[in-house]
Each structure stands twice: as structure tokens, then as C-alpha cells.
Amino acid sequence: MRACKECRKRYLNSFFFPVVIGAALIGAVSIWICPGDVRAQAQSPSPPRAGDRTEYWAKAVRMADVSAKVENGKISIPVDVLKEKKIVRYEYEGSGVKVPLLSYLTPAGKLITAVSVCEPCRSTRFHIRDKSLVCNACYTEWNLETLKGIKGGCLKYPPQVIPHSVENGRILIDEKTVTQWKPRV
């Protein structure tokens, strides 16, 4: 009878410990893969809608360069150009600063305007792939709707959203807001 208890104990130990170790490994890997400090990620932008839903499934949309106008303290680009190109890059140059800007349409039709900089890696170019905004240099991905990090090295620093308005078919950004922009890192 004693030998049976010993065998049962040895059998349970040989089964129990590998299961516990496997569960611990799975937990450690999932913590390593998931993004870190979610609170430090960007706040969900809530700009006005610019148009109908936009589909980006299974295709990459390259950033198109456009020219912006500066008049009466406002930087502006046409909404129609954005609707056609889906994601655009333009530069503000004045008051001793040069700041790259971007605008894009989310799949839900929201218009996002931001400083076109991935601050840790200093890239100023992005593209859209599926439902993500992707840095062309480090390939960090952010959710198009919320700009929350998905994967990559620069998760906590998506392009910084700047306020805008839409009037007479043009996207308007306050020049003062852009001239006062400073990198977070």
C-alpha cells in the first residue's frame, strides 16, 4: 500500500510541476508581448467628422506631400485633397520654425491633424496599413481611430494631435499652436 502512495505522489509531481512551469511561461510571454504603461499612451482624439467611412483593408496607403497656405494666422489645406489622398504631409515654415504636419481620415470618417513626427526615432513619414498608422522608420503602429500604441518601439509617442477646424472646404490649424509645439522627448 505504501508503494502505491509513493507512485501516486511521484506521478502527481511529474505532472503538476510541468503544468505550473508552462503556465508561468505563458504568463511571462504575454506580459512581455503586451504594451507597457497604457495610461501614458495618447488620449483618444475626438475631432469633427470629415466624410464617409474609409476602408484601408489589406493595402498600404502612402503619405502624399501637399502644400499648405498660411493666411491670417491659420495653416490650411483643402479637404478635397485629403479625401482623395487619405493621408497627407505638409510643412509649416515661419516664425523661425519648421514643423512637419499630417492629416488623415480614419476608417470611421474622422479627420485627424497632428505633428508629423515619431519623436523617439525622429521620423516625419508615416503610412496607413489596415487600421494602423505606421512610422516609416521604426514601423511602430498606432490605432488610426485612437492613436493608442499597438506594437513597436515608440508606442508612447504617436504623432501629437493638434486641434483644427473645417471651414469653406479647408482644414484650418492655428499657426500659434504649431509654432509653440515642442517634442515630448
8 with 83, same domain: the answer is no
H/E stretch holding 115? strand 111-115
Whether 148 maps to a domain, the answer reads yes
Whether 111 maps to a domain, the answer reads yes
Locus of grid cell 497604457: 38
The C-alpha atoms of residue 149 and residue 138 are separated, in whole angstroms, by 13
Whether 107 maps to a domain, the answer reads yes
Whether 20 maps to a domain, the answer reads yes
The C-alpha atoms of residue 166 and residue 158 are separated, in whole angstroms, by 23
51 with 102, same domain: the answer is yes
Grid cell, residue 15, equals 505532472
80 with 51, same domain: the answer is yes
Q: What is the model's pLDDT at position 91?
A: 97
Task: Dump pLDDT digits (tens) for 15-67.
Answer: 555 655 655 556 554 554 554 443 334 444 444 455 555 554 557 899 999 99
Task: Dump pLDDT digits (tens) for 61-88.
Answer: 999 999 999 999 999 999 999 999 999 9
Whether 184 maps to a domain, the answer reads no
73 with 112, same domain: the answer is yes
50 with 9, same domain: the answer is no
Residue 162 is part of a domain; what is its CATH number?
Answer: 2.102.10.10
Whether 50 maps to a domain, the answer reads yes
Q: What is the model's pLDDT at position 185?
A: 85
Q: In the chain, how many domains are there?
A: 2
132 with 154, same domain: the answer is yes
| pLDDT band for position 158 (cuts 50, 70, 90) | very high
Whether 87 maps to a domain, the answer reads yes
Q: What is the model's pLDDT at position 37?
A: 42
71 with 87, same domain: the answer is yes
Quick one: 90 exposed, middle or buried, by C-beta within 10 A (0-12, 13-18, 19+)?
A: buried
68 with 54, same domain: the answer is yes
30 with 93, same domain: the answer is no
The CA–CA distances, whole Å, from 96 to 70, 92, 93, 115, 178 equal 14, 10, 7, 17, 12
* pTM recorded for the entire structure: 0.68
12 with 84, same domain: the answer is no
25 with 96, same domain: the answer is no
145 with 66, same domain: the answer is yes
Task: Dump pLDDT digits (tens) for 84-116.
Answer: 999 999 999 987 899 999 999 999 999 999 999
Question: Which residues span the domain enclosing 23?
Answer: 1-34
Residue 41 CB contacts under 8 Å (≥ 6 apart), including other chains: 35, 147, 148, 149, 155, 156, 158
Report whether pLDDT(12) > 70: no
